[in-house]
Amino acid sequence: MTVFHSYKTSLNVLSEVSVLYKVVEFKRNKISGSYWKVAIAAAALLASASVRADYASHPAAPAFIDKLVAEHKFNADEVRAALAGAEKKQSILDAIARPAEKTKPWFEYRKIFLGADRVAQGVEFWNTHQATLARASKEMGVEEEVVVAIIGVETRYGRYMGSYRVLDALATLGFDYSPRAKFFSSELENFFLLAREQKQNIGDLKGSYAGAMGYGQFIPSSYRAYAVDFDGNGVSDIWNDPVDAIGSVANYFKRHGWKKGEPVFSRALIAKDYDQSVLNARVRPHLTLQEAAAMGFTPAEGRFNRDEKVVPLEYEGELGKEFWLGFSNFYTITRYNRSQMYALAVWQLSQEIRYAYEQQAAAATTSD
């Protein structure tokens, strides 16, 4: 079975627009002058937008097609047909220009991902997939609550996995989003490969505006590299199979250096003359706790080896500035999503889910 739709060519689209013009012409005598002008404008806009949606005619398309043919043995006509059916989505370009972590302070960003409903749904997900989560934790060395929190932040435990066609998202960003066109063009290439490997219809797969898919919202390159067949049925399906999704998220963390039982964050106490220049550095934790203390940052909780490496962080909380120390496991979460606020949200959600899960278990034991 081919993985590609038999997409309409631009000629087909123009033919549809011609039909629209005829319908408008037929209704002409029943439409007032102002509405008639609106109808004609809408038809013209549809024609223009439909032609622009043909990514097979984009200036960058020939090189992309040639690469898939030369390096991966794709059929040029099939790739061209798929690109011809991909649609440019302005809503995608708008969304990627204003991600929440760049437009909201921490106290507002936090509210998006933490709350009673998401915690309760996390406990429900944990109870439903208790055996799978326990096995993933044992085999991959990642705490159950961390895996649950990732899936909770990404898709509310599979409830919202994205409504954009991944083909549209990656074509739009790969061809028409110049700041990261190289990255998204590479993801589009990986998406073609993924669809072929998984025997999926490339036009049917849905995901986020950035082309992320499934329970854990893997981009195509991550899907190909880290998704696992955790239920042993021969397919690594994170679109529909929560067992594979759990195993895949845990495997991603394992492969990126997560250390089970080791610290993630600690609140920080600051000295009056703390060094602001080291705050929120987008680097792997590089200061020992001893060095961080000399710069005015010390853990407010827990006992740690002074040689543990950290990054000092500052966020705007509801009651003013919050200071944190991010450890190596914090950095691993940022390999999943580069936002440092995302990492803090995942960790805090994981702790709330763990607490609620244990409280529920204790209450059940008491009632028995």
Residues 6+ apart with CB under 8 A from 202: 3, 4, 5, 82, 167, 191, 192, 195
In whole angstroms, give the CA distance from residue 321 to residue 315: 6
* Element housing 122 (H / E): helix 116-128
Beta bridge partner(s), residue 313: 324
**Full DSSP string of 24-54:** HHHHGGGS-HHHHHHHHHHHHHHHHHHHHT-
Query: Which residues form the catalytic set?
Result: 154
The four Cα atoms 16, 18, 23, 28 give a dihedral, to 10 degrees, of 150
3-state secondary structure of 95: helix
CA distances, 343 to each of 138, 255, 280, 340, 348 (Å): 22, 17, 12, 5, 9
Residues 6+ apart with CB under 8 A from 327: 262, 263, 264, 265, 266, 285, 308, 309, 310
Residue with tokens 């798929």: 82
Q: What is the DSSP letter of 3?
A: S
Radius of gyration of the chain (CA): 25
Beta bridge partner(s), residue 310: 287
For the beta carbon of residue 50, count every other beta carbon within 10 angstroms.
17
Q: Hey, which bits of the chain come out as E strands?
A: 164-165, 206-207, 265-270, 287-288, 297-299, 309-317, 320-326
Residues 6+ apart with CB under 8 A from 55: 61, 83, 84, 86, 88, 171, 175
* Nearest CA among 280, 331, 342 for reference residue 309: 331
In whole angstroms, give the CA distance from residue 217 to residue 252: 12
